[in-house]
Structure 1
Amino acid sequence: MYSPERAPFPREEASFSCAREAGAVPLGAMTTTAPEPRVKLDLRADGFAALPEDVEEIRELYVCECGLTDVPPAIGRLRNLRVLDIAHNALRTVPVEIGLLRSLDILYLADNQLTEFPAGVLELRTLRYLGLDANQLTELPDALGNLSALVELRLAGNRLIRLPATIGGLKRLRELHLRGNALTALPDTISELAELRVLDLRENQLERLPAAVHGLRRLRSIDLRANRLTTLPDELTNLPALERLDLRWNAELRLPAWIGELEARGCVVWV
């Protein structure tokens, strides 16, 4: 199973924004005579201690790779924030005040030590990207389905054994990354993810897929490597957009005859 200790979470997956920071305004570059609005702020060198008093103009904040063990409640003052990167730290909790960031689009929380899904995040109804890879989550709240604006959800490298049925409420979701958990089954409500394009289920403990996958009409890629599958639902043949199906390392899997039909129409199948 995927383990952050054995395989550190790839830097580029959890925090691609940190690679786009060339335009960030250095803290030491501010002048006292005609200060420019700090729309993008990089505090990786100093952490939250360097957060200025005037935060109304900040739209992007990067406090990743600082060794932080907590986030101050003052984070709730950044009401216009659109991007928050606090990945690759040592956070065990996230203050509920993060729920006050009602304009937030992108939130990076990967590679921390979170054991519970941050309750305040459930208030972020405009959030489009949520990265929680490489933490220690064992379950997801039923209220997860309320994050209906999500387009990409990353939960790889946790300890999840189930998904809540309410995940079907993520109607706009296009990418769902669940690699390296302990999932044994998927809820039937996964069929409600009509916009889903990418489904990564590698390195779980799945023994079967539900017939409900028939609802994933826009699914392009499904990664099922290193599970415990023995059979596949016939409904996979009814996914018109499917381009990639990876079935490797399922030792007991009996391949159905229709695999050839998928390949004939252009779907790449790995077995």
Structure 2
Amino acid sequence: MSTRAETAGARIAPPPARRRGVLAVGAWRARFELVQYFRSGDTLFFTFLFPIFMLGLFSVAFGSDGDVQIAPDVPPISMAELYLPGMIAAGLLLSGFQNLAMDIAIERSDGMLKRLGGTPLSPVSYFIGKIGQVLVTGVLQAALLMGFAALALGVELPTQPARWATFAWVFLLGIITSALLGVALSAVPRTAKSATAVVVPIALALQFVSGVYLTFSQLPEWLQNIAGLFPLKWMAQGMRAVFLPDEYAALEQNGEWNLAGVALALGIWLIVGLVLSRVTFRWIRRDA
């Protein structure tokens, strides 16, 4: 049994004084999840440092000749500025979708969820705890990524309040959607060992087709259409609207940032994730 499972076994239910409803128990659970999360060194590395490492790598590898101009009618920008929006969107996917899908699958395989199922903890409170943990870590990760871009790579962050308002709602919709889809996907791996093999390829493929590692405007139209079926493309597009010059909107699939489309797509996926996570979530696998 893992250290995390042993710790959870010792404190598997909230203190009696805090059993005051679904939201209160969910808040207690979020605090518990955060404590466990920050005790996991490998998870901290891949969640917080991997996007920073990739942003620095792409900036150094492809930006040695200075600013680049990826199309005739747009101003040249640094590679760090070009990649920053996609890396922030990828961070939301890693924090919510990938980490939660693997984490919950491992907890189910280790028997932790079976023990939780025997307590008064409701699935809703469990979801609130997981999403609360993802929200906090997602905010910290985005702040570190933007701080690194600004201080180490010289990226000028937006100063217009409207852009930061856009960042806030794209971030919130993106992180919650990613978390709910991660909860839903956690039902697929049959064992803890297979969780990585199931989840990581999906997350990696989405990053390549959604404008994270490859410039989205340079992808074939058919691949852009496929990417448009998934939420990461819309998260990355919303972040590009925040951090890139207005002229870059012309490089989007429809020649505009289409923030209404971003909100609609993420809203639909949020509802899909909510329904799937509630329908598929089980404390114990039915085929176990």
What's the TM-score once normalised by structure 1's chain length?
Answer: 0.25
Higher relative contact order (CA 8 A, sep 6+): 2
Considering fraction of residues, name the structure with more strand: 1
What's the TM-score once normalised by structure 2's chain length?
Answer: 0.24
Considering fraction of residues, name the structure with more helix: 2
